[in-house]
């Protein structure tokens, strides 16, 4: 199964994933955990360009193509081979991030973006996506407190981040069979328990 975690900035994905991965592996799940952009040597190089605060002049089309380049690499080098081996893959962000950030956030053509993402991923979309939802102001305040984590995307205007969050919620409404939404403003332990329960339930349902 291919599982992805999505969410606006400061939703807590990065801090929640390590204990979640440890828990799932203790349940006997053969799990590969990775992230976007990155997850490969090539993708990590692209990530450094995308996140660098010095690259404020980057055009949204450039941004899209760089994200897609990193994504194409991780799909073919990491994600698809793992799935073909029967492993469960958990990815911190994936193609839905492009729809949220560049589609809803920048206001670019989402129909075209879906076609581009189909090409980029070779048609590989997640089986299950968890949206870790949090108020934009709360999320950005969290990011500001994490020394060294503030990046070029975080620095976009508040209105941009509001559109991203609303885009995520809209996508979750459109595909309830794939998405669930959890309240990431809860205490960290409560969020972790919700994540664990949601994934175990979905894996159990798929196994039937």
Q: Cα–Cα distance between 137 and 48 in angstroms, integer?
A: 25
Q: Give the Cα separation of 137 and 157 in Å (integer).
A: 11
pLDDT in tens, 2-48: 999 999 988 999 899 999 999 999 999 999 999 999 999 999 999 99
Residue range of the domain that includes 84 = 2-207
Total domains in the chain come to: 1
What is the reported pLDDT for 67?
96
Predicted confidence (pLDDT) per residue in 61-83, tens digit: 999 999 999 999 999 999 999 99
Percent of the chain topping pLDDT 90:
85
Distance of CA 52 to the CA centre of its chain: 19
Residues 90-131: pLDDT tens digits? 999 999 999 999 999 999 999 999 999 999 999 999 999 999
Look up the CATH number of the domain holding residue 178. Answer: 3.40.50.300
Overall average pLDDT of the 159-187 stretch: 97
Torsions phi, psi for 65 (to 5 deg): -65, -35
Among 194, 14, 8, 153, CA closest to 91:
14
CB 24 within 8 A of CB 199: yes
pLDDT band at 148 (very low <50, low <70, confident <90, very high): low
């Amino acid at each position: 199964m291919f599982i992805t975690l999505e969410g606006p900035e400061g939703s807590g994905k990065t801090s929640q994933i390590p204990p979640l991965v440890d828990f799932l592996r203790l349940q006997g799940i053969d799990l590969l955990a990775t992230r976007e952009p990155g997850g490969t040597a090539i993708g990590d190089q692209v990530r450094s360009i995308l996140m660098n605060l010095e690259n404020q002049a980057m055009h949204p089309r450039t941004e899209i193509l760089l994200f897609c380049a990193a994504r194409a690499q991780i799909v073919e080098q990491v994600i698809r081979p793992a799935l073909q081996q029967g492993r469960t893959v958990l990815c911190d962000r994936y193609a839905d991030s492009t729809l949220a950030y560049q589609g809803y956030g920048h206001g670019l053509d989402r129909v075209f973006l879906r076609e581009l993402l189909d090409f980029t991923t070779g048609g590989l979309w997640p089986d299950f996506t968890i949206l870790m939802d949090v108020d934009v102001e709360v999320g950005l305040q969290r990011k500001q407190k994490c020394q060294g984590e503030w990046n070029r995307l975080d620095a976009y205007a508040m209105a941009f981040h509001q559109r991203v969050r609303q885009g995520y919620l809209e996508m979750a409404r459109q595909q309830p069979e794939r998405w669930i939404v959890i309240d990431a403003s809860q205490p960290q332990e409560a969020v972790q328990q919700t994540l664990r329960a949601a994934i175990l339930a979905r894996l159990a349902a798929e196994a039937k």
